[in-house]
Structure 1
Amino acid sequence: MAKIGIYGSSFDPITNVHLWTASTVAHRCKLDKVIFLPCSSKRQDKQIHVSDEHRIDMVRIAIEGNNKFEVVDYEMNQPAWEIATYKTMNHFRENYPNDEIYFIMGADLLVDIGEGKWKRAEELIHENKFIVMARDGINMLSAISKSPMLRNADDGQTFHLIDKGLAMEISSSYIRDEFKMGGEPRYLVPDKVYDYIQINHLYQS
């Protein structure tokens, strides 16, 4: 049985912190694979700045050579009304029936789920396992205890909380702003991704 983490994000663009986070989570949680899952531009809750094709190309370039990393375009291929993390996780559990599947997310998303802001949140929590990364200013244990839905699912197996050393954040929006304003974010993204952005004139006004 393999342990697989599903790492969803806009990756707009993918950053060195995304890669460092995925590598650290894989090491600490003994994951055999991390699947990078770029979200679809059709999602109503996301403002995407470049095409799905560019974003998935950048992820492919960034993870090249790491045999623990894989990118999957599953959500990009779904109709807008079908896109929900609950359905996405069902897809991966069906495709890896003999493996242990985890959804990797930040503590801010845990709070949102606990407040019922996600589609089919209760089923999502009861049917899946989660690796939750620290975010500045969020007490993860408190977030679980304050939500009846989360605390009733907290059986010692559902939530794997990573509370130290993963709060470092360099946002994709910061990098986009640097490109747009003529700044120099070179070492915040992988070299090949930086070159790809320059060649394709992405994020530039």
Structure 2
Amino acid sequence: MAHRLLLICLLMIYKVSSKDYWNVNYSLSHMCALKNSSVIINCNYTYPDGHQIMKVFWTKGPVRDVEPPDLSEDPEYSQRLQYLGDKQKNCTMRLSHVTKKDEHKYYFRFITDKPGGKYTGRSGVTLTVTDLQVESPERVTEGDSVRLTCKSSCALTDRATFIWYRNSQPLTERRDRNNILLLQSVRREDAGRCSCATHLHLS
């Protein structure tokens, strides 16, 4: 008489508590900011129970085989970087007066009181810095309608309203969310150098 051996496999699925692992969560992986503006990088972090946070800082990288530098101690950043987070779960920071030299990938790092208690958020945030340019027709005839477009090399992360100028004088008093300005039936006296600027609404 043959005996059948019934194997019962038990699949154990464990729910990992957010308090049991190391993680840094950045709200965005890429940000585009206007030259000379301020950018806010939002993030939060978690770590195992029983650890006490001793140090938190932002760095840029990647840096291998050495302790990553704290940007708040770097003369190029110390006056412009402001840590808005805490030593619990928020790691948001603000970087002011950004320039093309600030185009890097930024990482948040924290250190706890336990051996091996060091962690850097792996994905990081890539910052691109752009400037505004006005796109206009090459030739304009008197009486034409002219379409001007305020453009940047990447899509701005923060919501913006646009302000237009001709020869450094405001063309319109109102701020418009549309980056296009349409001039109807232009006249000879409308000629001049047009430029645009933005007013950013930080999210």
**Class of the TM-score when normalised by the shorter of the 2 chains:** under 0.3
* TM-score, scaled to structure 1: 0.25
Higher relative contact order (CA 8 A, sep 6+): 1
Structure having the larger proportion of residues in strand: 2
* TM-score, scaled to structure 2: 0.25
